[in-house]
């Protein structure tokens, strides 16, 4: 299910049941240094799990989830209902290639297991550069790491560099049967 065309209300329901509270979202959010007043945008937010976990650290900021599937946004809103940070978490329908977020609005942008689903990665990365503040960070998480070994990993990092990002941290996290790679990037210039 890599093509966005495969995602609809039915696949959103399937994803929510199978992966909606997947541990990667919690573990990655917990591993990040987020400040209380951060503005965080989660691209391909799914059920909003990462934002709900990030809310424990982002106590005075804003948390914005973006997903191109309207049903997924409905599910995310339902799951955020009653959460202590419910009033600070907002969900918007949109794609990585056309983010419904203003210029220089975000301190941190997440792409937790969503990067490979983007239709146009170059355009999505340009959008992230647009929405990030000058000192902003882009965090990419890939469950199980980059498939295809060292060559695929190098191609991924090269794509980030071509888009103007410099990887400041690459971390493998494995715990409780969950393994993923997390890249923290800033502007290269």
pLDDT in tens, 79-121: 999 999 999 999 999 999 999 999 999 999 999 989 988 999 9
pLDDT over 90 percentage in the chain: 70
DSSP 85-150: TGGGEEEEE-BTTB-SS-TT-EEEEEEES-GGG-S-HHHHHHHHHHHEEEEEEEEEEEETS-TTHH
Q: Which domains does the chain have, with CATH numbers?
A: 4-187 (3.40.50.150)
pLDDT in tens, 16-35: 887 777 788 889 999 999 99
Tell me the two tokens of residue 91: 């969900």
Cα separation, 54 vs 38, in Å, equals 10
pLDDT in tens, 45-82: 999 999 999 999 999 999 999 999 999 999 999 999 99
Which pTM value belongs to this model? 0.92
């Amino acid at each position: 299910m890599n093509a966005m065309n495969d995602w609809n209300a039915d696949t959103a329901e399937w994803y929510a049941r199978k992966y909606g509270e997947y541990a990667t979202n919690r573990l990655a959010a917990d591993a990040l240094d987020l400040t209380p007043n951060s503005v965080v945008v989660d691209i391909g937010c799914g059920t909003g799990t990462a934002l709900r976990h990030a809310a424990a650290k982002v106590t005075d900021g804003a948390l914005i989830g973006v997903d191109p599937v309207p049903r997924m946004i409905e599910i995310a809103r339902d799951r955020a209902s009653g959460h202590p940070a419910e009033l600070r978490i907002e969900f918007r329908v949109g794609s990585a290639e056309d983010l419904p977020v203003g210029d220089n609005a975000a301190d941190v942008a997440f792409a937790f297991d969503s990067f490979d689903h983007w239709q146009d990665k170059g355009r999505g990365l340009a959008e992230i550069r647009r929405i990030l503040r000058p000192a902003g960070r882009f965090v990419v998480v890939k469950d199980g790491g980059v498939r295809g070994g060292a060559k695929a990993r190098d191609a991924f990092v090269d794509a980030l560099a071509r888009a103007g990002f410099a990887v400041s941290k690459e971390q493998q996290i494995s715990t409780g049967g969950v393994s993923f790679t997390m890249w923290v990037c800033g502007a290269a210039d």
